[in-house]
Structure formats: C-alpha cells, structure tokens
Amino acid sequence: MSLLIRNTANIRNLYNSLKKISLAVYATKLPQYNPVDLGSITSYRRYSIRSSILPSPPRSLPRSVQYLSTQTSRVENTRKIPFPLADIGEGITEVEILKWFVKDGQQVKQFDKICEVQSDKATVEITSRFDGIVRDIQYKQGDIAKVGKPLCFIESIGEDTAANTDAEVAAMSTQADRKEEHEEIPPVSREHEKVLTTPAVRRIAREHKIDLTKVKGSGNHGRVLKEDILAYIEAQQSPLEEQVKPSVSLDSNIEPIRGLRRAMTKTMTASLAVPQLTLGEEVVMDRLIHIRNGLKSTAEKLGVRLTYMPFFIKATSYCLSHFPILNSSVDQSCENIIYHRHHNISIAMDTPMGLTVPNIKHVEEKSVLEVAKDLQVLMDMAESGRLGEEQLKDGTFSLSNVGVISGTYTAPVVFVPQVAIGAFGRTRRVPVVNAHGHVETAHIINVSWSADHRIIDGATIARFSKMWKSCVEEPEQLLLHLK
C-alpha cells in the first residue's frame, strides 16, 4: 500500500514537471512555434500520463504578437554602418572635402554620389557602395578627411550588406594602421610602452622626442590622449619660439592652405630638400617659327591648336632617348636609380585652382600633331577642374612654359621623384651677331634646366641642353628622327 502511494506521488511530481516543460517550450518558441507532442510516459508499473491532459499551445499567434515579432525582426536588421574614405592610391593619406552631394537623412542607392574630394594629386567623386540612408555627416566643406576614417554613416537594411561592409571597414582600418606602423619613425624606449595611449599619440611623441611617462593623461585609467600631448608640446615651447610666431592683428585675414596650393606646399618642400643644379641657355627660334607658321593652318583644319610647346615636348623626348638617366627617378633611400621605359612628360599648368602638373603619356611614340592634341585635352581638363589621377600620375620629366605669362629667366625646381625639369621664358626679338660678324635681329628664348645633383652632374645636363638647342634651332634635322 505504501509502495502504491509512493508511486502515485512520483507520478504527480512527474506530471507537474512535464507541465512546466510544456509551458517553457511554448514560451521559448515564439514567434515561430511548432506544437510539441510529449507522447506518453509510463511509470514502473501500469500508471501512465497522456499528452492530451497537458495544456496544448495554440498553433497560431495573436495578431498583436505577430506584428510585434515582424517589427522587431526589421529593427534588428537595420544598422548604421560607417562609410569610410577608401584608399585612393598614390600614397595619399588625406583629402579636402570640396562638396557634399547628400544631406543628413537623405536616401541613397548604390553608386550614387556622396561627396567630391581633392587630394594632393586629383579631384575624385566618392560614390556609395550600397543602398541606405545617410546619417551623421562627419565633415564640413573645406575640412580635411583622413583615409580609413568615416565620412558619414549609412543606415542600411539587410544582414548581408552589413556583414560585407563591416569586413570592408575592418580592412580599411587595418590598412590605415599598417601605413601608420610602417612610417619611418625613430625608436622609442620601452618605458613608453607602459603608458596607456594610441599609436597616433606614440608617433607624435617619437617625432618630438617626448617621454610619454612625463605627460599627464586625462583619459580613463590615466590614458594619454592626443589633446594631452599637444598641450604638453605647447607648454614646452621656449620664449624664443614664441617670439618667432607671426603676429596676427585684428585686421588680418587668415586663409587655410587647401587644394592644389596645399599639394604645392608639400611637393615644393620635398623638392627643395634635394640638392639641385641649374643651367641656362639661349636658343634661336627663327627657323622653328617659320615651320610652325607653315603648319598652323593645316593643324587648324584638323581641329588642333599648334603652338611651340608640342615641338619643345617632342624635342625633349628625342633628347631623353640619348640621356635616359634624365628620364629616371631615385628610390627613397637614394641607393637605386629607376629608369623609366616611356617618356611621360609633365606640363606645369596655371589653372583657376592653382598649379597642376598633368603629363602626356608615351611621347616617344607620338607625332608632333598627336602631342598637340593631347596637350589641348589636358589644358581643357585643367581649366574645368576635371583632371584625374590618371592624368597626374607616372610623370617622368617636367616642362614649364612660364614665358607665356611673363619672365625671361627662371630657375625651375625639380618635381620629385623626377630628377630633371626644363623651363622656358618668353620669346624676345633682340640684336645678335651672326656668323659673318654682322648684326641682325633674331627671336631668342631663354631655357633653364634643373636636375637632381645627387645623380646628375653638370656635364650631363649641359650635353642634354646642347642637343635640345640643336633640335629647336634646326627642326628639319629633328624631323629625320621622328617616329
């Protein structure tokens, strides 16, 4: 009898447990629920419990629950994704924001234009990589944006898009970090490693030879922030350094250096760090003027404006074939000379936005007329601000025709990493003494050549100049060798 009572109690406990399990399964299966058949469970004797006596959950959810489930799923799939500035190549680390094509809250589709940016080398339009809504624009027009940092955020729907974008952002961040890590910075003592801070702050400390242990951090757990080290540097400036700062009166107008002027600042600073030599020469233009006047009308019928510059460019290419070291560049350590196969001759151009130096590709393979066509295209693109990276990269030698504006003599600066540059003054009609000792008038142009004196000696640039002078003064001879 006692055994029967004990078994009955066990069955009752088992029933209560199964009832709780059934309710738990019902609760955890929302919103997609499949009825669970518990079957029958038999005791050690002949007592059993049927599943039919347990509460059976409904096969469909109430409308309110279904609606809530659908809305919750949609919210979970909506994500605000960073839209970073991608690496646009050529070693560019920052760009200026020229224009925004979108506003906060605006819906965009894949390949829609987001903004226009300008680097040291070109103007580029940035397009969206996926559909979504623009959120939290990070920069204003005129601000400087860093490669790998978000330009804005885009609210996107869909797990696949979010996953792919997360991978892209992670890859860009990794690339930016690697660039920062590979910069040549003097080593720092191990004491710095004990300080909590970021790689960017450590780089500033190395550049300014600052012991980070002496900088008081204002971040969590004493972390040294960028603001902390900049304040430390400012506090360490000597009274002499304070005196040499330019004074700014209330009437002064401060203009940030942006766009092509910013690029020129960086390029010329790097160029003047290279030792250079300059050679000048006078060239008689009379015979070239005669030939050009005879060909001008023919070129105009073909829609080409024929100036003297295409002849100068072609003469330069011919001379570079005989002096290939002038069509080279030097590696960063100045241990190797890189000889370039093609003559991609860069032309300095004055544009409404500043100095720019696009290049004509493969001049050695082109006729004077083809060079004139390419030059005209580049000038039109420069005037309208449409020059891109393709027109600006891979130049091997530079020419500057400053004489079209004004000036007789000039000392051009080598456009690194190139090793030589030529510049032309304005053409003048002056009295000269001919071979027979008689005075006559002639059209003279002054040409100046500058070269990287680390690998180019004076004799080489002088021989190059002599050959170029011969090509221009006797252009008929040059025609025999043109391809």
Residues 144 and 259: their CA atoms lie apart, in Å, by 10
Tokens of 411: 């000392």
160 is catalytic: no
Q: Residue 199: how many CA atoms within 13 Å on its side-chain side?
A: 11
Tokens of 89: 């190549």
Residues 127 and 109: their CA atoms lie apart, in Å, by 9
Q: Is 423 left (phi over 0), alpha (psi -120 to 50) or beta?
A: beta
Residues 119 and 144: their CA atoms lie apart, in Å, by 10
Cα-only R_g, the chain: 37
Residues 36 and 17: their CA atoms lie apart, in Å, by 15
453 is catalytic: yes
Q: 477 vs 307, 462, 472, CA distance in Å?
A: 19, 20, 9
In a 3-state reduction of DSSP, which class is residue 352?
coil
Q: Which of 340, 362, 443, 453 is catalytic?
A: 453
435: Cβ contacts below 8 Å, ≥ 6 apart: none
Tokens of 11: 């069955």
Kindly report the number of other CB atoms within 10 A of residue 440's CB atom.
10
Which residue bears the tokens 């801070």? 197
Residues 350 and 382: their CA atoms lie apart, in Å, by 8
126: β partners? 115
Tokens of 454: 């680390």
Q: Are 389 and 122 a contacting pair, CB within 8 Å? A: yes
Residues 192 and 54: their CA atoms lie apart, in Å, by 68
440: Cβ contacts below 8 Å, ≥ 6 apart: 431, 432, 433, 434
Pairing status of strand 397-400 against strand 328-330? unpaired
Residues 450 and 436: their CA atoms lie apart, in Å, by 33
Q: Which of 143, 342, 457, 481 is catalytic?
A: 457
Kindly report the number of other CB atoms within 10 A of residue 428's CB atom.
14
H-assigned helices in 127-238: 159-182, 199-207, 226-236
Give me the active site residues, please. 453, 457
